[in-house]
Amino acid sequence: MNSHEDLELLTESKTAELLGLRNPKTLAVWRCTKRYDLPYVKYGRSVRYRLKDVRAFIESHLVPLHQSSR
């Protein structure tokens, strides 16, 4: 079952903040160019991002540490 937190909708500003982006408009560029597969919710002119999708996006771009051989 989904938690309330996972269904929480974030503004572009909050999403940009969580992703460490300087400018929230970067998200609009990503949507327009389809640069990244970050799902969003759009109703009218409003664009929102689900917290669970932002978390999954971050996890999917995680670069693992390279294991050094001994």
Proportion of the chain in helix, strand, coil states, percent, rounded to 5:
45, 15, 40
pLDDT at 31: 96
pTM to 2 decimals? 0.82
Q: In b/e form, how buried is each residue of 32-60, taking b as 16+ CB within 10 angstroms?
A: eeeeeebebeeeeeebbbbbebbeebeee
**Residue 54, pLDDT score:** 96
CA gap 29, 27 in Å, rounded: 5
- Dist CA 55 CA 70 (whole Å): 34
**pLDDT of 70 higher than 80:** no
* Annotated domain spans of the chain: 13-60
* Model confidence pLDDT, tens digit, residues 30-56: 999 999 999 999 999 999 999 999 999
